[in-house]
Amino acid sequence: MRVDGAWQGLVYRWNDTQTDATRVLAGETVDMDRVDVDGNAYTQEYLVPNQNQCEDCHRRDDVMHLLGPITRQMNRTVVRDGASTNQIDWLRAQSFFSPDPGPGASLDAFVDAFDDTQDLNARARGYLHANCSHCHREGGYSGNSGLYLQAEETDNEHLGICKVSAAAGSGTGGYLYDIVPGDPDSSIMPYRMASTDPQIKMPELPNLLPDDEGIALIREWISSLDGTCDSSTP
């Protein structure tokens, strides 16, 4: 909710008949019935977050922000009034923008991370932006780690390539670098994405299950990267 010019995260949980929702202040755990991409049923332990946890992802430089409505994510084909159209162009036609950002075709866009006809680098960078960059950016919750995963980041070390991890011990799996080009098995990033240990797993919140498709994508991307890290670094 927008209250006095600032966003606030308020948590509500629907009742089982989906007729009413009540406010949850302290957080809860709920078992949810799910179906995976192969159609197999499984139960997911869902953590209903407490309000303070909203800030971990939505606050940056001490201000709560919206995360979804960004150009790269909005710039895609949608169906409006029964016709396929570029979403940015449709919003421009409704006079949503001031100043006018220009046509969608002239702006950056994420590709579908799981469409393997698209460029691998663009798929991986879009995935990392959408799933990690709200914490992993300057001023974000894990800004101190120096790992910045926005799609616009151009510095290889901030992206994790040959970056010595700020974390120690189990958080590294005994590996040195967040990403070793060409070698996902020696890279901290996919190791932490695959972990179910709350002290290790990434994203830190709120999932308890690793994202197997996402891990496979990041491993494939790391395998495709060229270069060698200076192994003399401690």
Is 211 exposed, middle or buried (CB count within 10 Å of its CB: 0-12, 13-18, 19+)? middle
Closer Cβ to ligand HEC, 7 or 80, answer by number: 7
203 binds ligand HEC per the rule CB under 6 A: yes
User: Of the ranges 93-101, 105-113, 116-124, 129-137, which one interacts with ligand HEC (CB under 6 A)?
Assistant: 129-137
- Residue type, position 192, single letter: R
How many other CB atoms are found less than 10 A from the CB of residue 66?
A: 8
111 binds ligand HEC per the rule CB under 6 A: no
Residue 57 and residue 133: Cα distance in Å, rounded? 9
Residue 103 and residue 94: Cα distance in Å, rounded? 13
Rounded to a whole number of angstroms, the distance between the first and last alpha carbons of the chain is: 47
> Are residues 163 and 177 in contact, defined by beta-carbon separation less than 8 angstroms?
yes
In the list 111, 202, 217, 222, the residue contacting ligand HEC (rule: CB under 6 A) is 202
Residue 172 and residue 191: Cα distance in Å, rounded? 8
User: Of the ranges 51-59, 79-87, 110-118, 219-227, which one interacts with ligand HEC (CB under 6 A)?
Assistant: 51-59
194 binds ligand HEC per the rule CB under 6 A: no
124 binds ligand HEC per the rule CB under 6 A: no
75 binds ligand HEC per the rule CB under 6 A: no
CB of 171 to ligand HEC, least distance (A): 5
54 binds ligand HEC per the rule CB under 6 A: yes
Is 107 exposed, middle or buried (CB count within 10 Å of its CB: 0-12, 13-18, 19+)? middle
151 binds ligand HEC per the rule CB under 6 A: no
For ligand HEC, the binding residues (CB under 6 A) are 9, 11, 49, 53-54, 56-58, 66-69, 73, 130-132, 134-136, 141-142, 145, 147, 160, 163, 165-167, 171, 178, 188-189, 192-193, 202-206
